[in-house]
Amino acid sequence: MEISEYIKLIPEWLTATGTLLAVIVALYLARRDKSIQCVGDSSIYVVIDPGLTDSRSEYVILTVTNVGTRGFTLKGLSWRMGIVKRKYYFLVPPPNTYSSRIPTKLADGDQAAFYFPIENFRKNDRPLLLTSSPKFFKPIWLLFSCLVVHTTTGQSFTFKMNKSIRQELLDNRDL
């Protein structure tokens, strides 16, 4: 074969390669849309409510946002504490006007938020979460602790604790 014949084959090879890449991308996108994608956050915020006499209240706020196209049902939240011997502490959302209910359905772009009063967190949750923590490596231990979101499909998603919650757990008051 001469070089001119090879040059005539280049458009055919480019067309075949382009078609193959288009099929791969289409299959990838179709499979990606079938999976659940969510984002979780845990932090301490001050909520200002002008309708209350004590308008400034601190809350531990946990949020879960569906960022994918597939909807899912959130069936529970828990803290996962520890590095090697992990312990799970399931959370029951408080019955206040701010918090979402469990179970809750999250469609594309929906968000569920759970507001735990900081006083309850300091009095009840904080001592419980720190019962199995090592005495000297507590900051490193807390880096590996996280929020776990449980869905009805059996999938669980883990999200790192925000720095404000880790700092609250490291604080030595009330212990």
For β-strands 104-106 and 72-81, DSSP reports them as: antiparallel
Q: Where are the domains positioned within the chain?
A: 1-32, 36-170
Count of C-beta atoms within a 10 Å radius of residue 160: 16
- In the chain, what's the furthest Cα-to-Cα distance? 90
List Cβ neighbours of 115 (8 Å cut-off, separation of 6 or more): 47, 59, 60, 61, 94, 96, 98, 99
Per-position pLDDT tens, the chain of length 175 = 688 888 888 889 999 999 999 999 988 887 777 789 999 999 999 888 776 666 678 899 999 999 988 899 999 999 998 888 888 999 888 888 889 999 999 999 999 999 999 998 888 888 888 877 777 788 888 888 899 999 999 899 999 999 999 888 888 654 4
The DSSP call for residue 154 is S
